[in-house]
Amino acid sequence: MSINKVNTHIIPMEFQYHAPTTLAEASALLEKYGDEAKILAGGTDLIPHMKQRKVEATHVINIKKIPELACIKETSKGIEIGANTKLRAIELSPLIKEKTPLLSEAAATVGSVQIRNLGTVGGNICNASPSADMATPLLALDTVVNVYNREGSKDYTLEEFLHGRGEVKLEPGELLTGMTIPLQPKNAGMAFEKVGWTTFDIATVNVAAVLTLKDGKIDHCRVTLGACSPAPVRVYQAESILIGEEPTQELFDEAVYLIAACVEPRESWRRAPPEYRRKASQALAIDALTRSIEKARRLA
Amino acid sequence: MKIEITVNGRKRQFDVEPNKLLLNLVRDELHLTGTKYGCGIGECGACTVHLDGEAVLACMVLAVDADGKQVDTIEGVAEDGNLDPVQEAFIEEGAIQCGFCTPGFIMTTKALLKENPNPTEHEIREYLKGNYCRCTGYVNIINAVQSAAKKLQS
């Protein structure tokens, strides 16, 4: 445990504070200061890290004053969520509860109410933590992320964007503005499962599933696994054996075996050893698949 | 940097360094020491205040980021010398032992009851899970929240 070995009373470094009100201004600041700058969104990771000197920044760029970055809205393309949208807003949004309930389930598992009133979905993704609780469900929803740079904006699939621990696909001067969750198939059953040290904690393993049934067989299927590899992953092998089959216990057992095979052990794992993660990922995946199937059956 | 924050209903101007935390501004500059510094990393909830009406952790908010906003602390809960029903309920139910966690619990409880006037025990436990009490456990605290909910409804 590394709690409070340092003074967390203060931020022991000086920095310049910027609060741009437009994306162009924010991007210019990011380009100007490069690695010396850090984006402040919710602050629930940045501030404790600065207190502990895990992050040193001489420029802090608060993007909360850019109004268009906080929104949840339905468009013809699907649901758009601004990068600065609070996790609490995602948890409580009637639109998200109706269309993509696994996302509000996942948001509700992050920290405490006080943390979710500060923390943002963009921060959760851009920290590029392998255990980001929003990344795993967003990946299962085929989310496309929107990145701003001065020449215009770029779209990446979330899978391209998350390319390994501690890093996302952002060039100097670029920032994540939001994400689009494409329209999901009607009758999709969805579930998110997570286990941590406590219910307050970050995930030791998390799993998301989205699937539909057609004539009693699995039609559309996404299964994603978080906290077990450098970034959350889509488990294509499991999806391909599930699609076109009738959901049975035997089939699920086979699929979760493939999910557990995605666990890539790391030296730095403190929370749980690889064997725990393999077993937990199987158990959580069974729960997620079973719950999604039950919901898909009700909706079919 | 010059900032203006409305603290417990009163507008205040400050000149602060960017690295000053809201918690330290409230405690050191305003001497409102009811809000406690517990862990400093967002685990314990002792520094819970309301920022524009929402429960947040003052140890994770920069003072400059609260510019133009409304901050409510435990000191602003009682009105005209009369305790708030939530405070009364905590006393009556014996939900206080050393008292260190109490301001945080009361601020979180107030946010809970504003959103959900009649919470179930499960909802109370879920909402208060970011507040730690290291003295006595949570049974009396849950009782106090339930009793406060009744008081506020009657």
| Domains in chain B: ranges and CATH | 2-76 (3.10.20.30), 85-153 (1.10.150.120)
Segment A128-133 mean pLDDT: 90
Residue contact B130–A115, C-beta within 8 A: yes
CA distance A225 to A135: 10
Could you tell me the two tokens for A71?
């929104």
**Chain A residues within an 8 Å CB radius of B43:** 3, 200
Range B51-58 average pLDDT: 98
Q: B40, A14: Cβ pair inside 8 Å?
A: no
The chain-wide mean pLDDT, for chain A, equals 94
Asked if B4 and B11 count as a contact pair (C-beta separation under 8 A), the reply is yes
Q: For residue A145, give its domain range.
A: 67-182
- Whole-angstrom CA distances from A288 to A184, A191, A255 are 17, 5, 12
User: Which of helix, strand or coil describes residue A203?
Assistant: strand
**What is the predicted pLDDT for the residue at A7?**
86
Q: Can you read off the two tokens belonging to residue A63?
A: 């993007």
> Residue A3: is its pLDDT beyond 70?
no
Task: Tell whether A112 and A202 lie within a shared domain.
Answer: no
Cross-sheet strand order for the sheet of B54-57: B10-15, B2-7, B70-72, B48-51, B54-57
A146 with A216, same domain: the answer is: no
Q: Structural domain tally of chain A?
A: 3
A266 falls in which pLDDT band (50, 70, 90)? confident
**Residues B85-112 pLDDT 10s:** 999 999 999 999 999 999 999 999 999 9
A149-204 pLDDT, tens digit each = 999 899 999 999 998 767 899 999 999 999 999 999 989 999 999 999 888 888 99
Amino acid at A84: N
CA-to-CA separations, B134 to B97, B106, B109, in angstroms, rounded: 9, 16, 18
> What share of chain A has pLDDT > 90, as a percent?
87
pLDDT at A15: 98
Bridge partners for A176 per DSSP: A147
Residue A4 has pLDDT above 60, yes or no: no
Strands B2-7 and A59-62: unpaired
- How large is the average pLDDT for residues B22-27? 98
For residues B17-28, average pLDDT? 97
**Alpha helix (H) residue ranges in A12-86:** 23-33, 46-51
Whole-angstrom distance, CA of residue A172 vs CA of residue A183: 31
Torsion-angle region of B55 (φ positive above 0: left; ψ -120 to 50: alpha; else: beta): beta
Residue A215 distance to chain B (closest CA, Å): 39
| Residue A288: closest CA among A202, A195, A196 | A195
| Residue A2's pLDDT band (cuts 50, 70, 90) | low
Are both A52 and A79 inside the same structural domain? no
Give the distance from residue B8's alpha carbon to the nearest chain A alpha carbon, in angstroms.
19
Mean pLDDT, residues A73-96: 97
Whole-number pLDDT of residue A202: 87
**CB–CB of B42 and A48 under 8 A?**
yes
Kindly determine whether residue B19 and residue A3, on different chains, have CB atoms separated by under 8 Å: no
Joined together, the tokens standing for residue A237 give 């092998």
CATH number of the domain residue A29 falls in: 3.30.43.10
Among candidate residues A136, A166, A182, the one where a domain is terminated: A182
| Residue B128 structure tokens | 């208060």
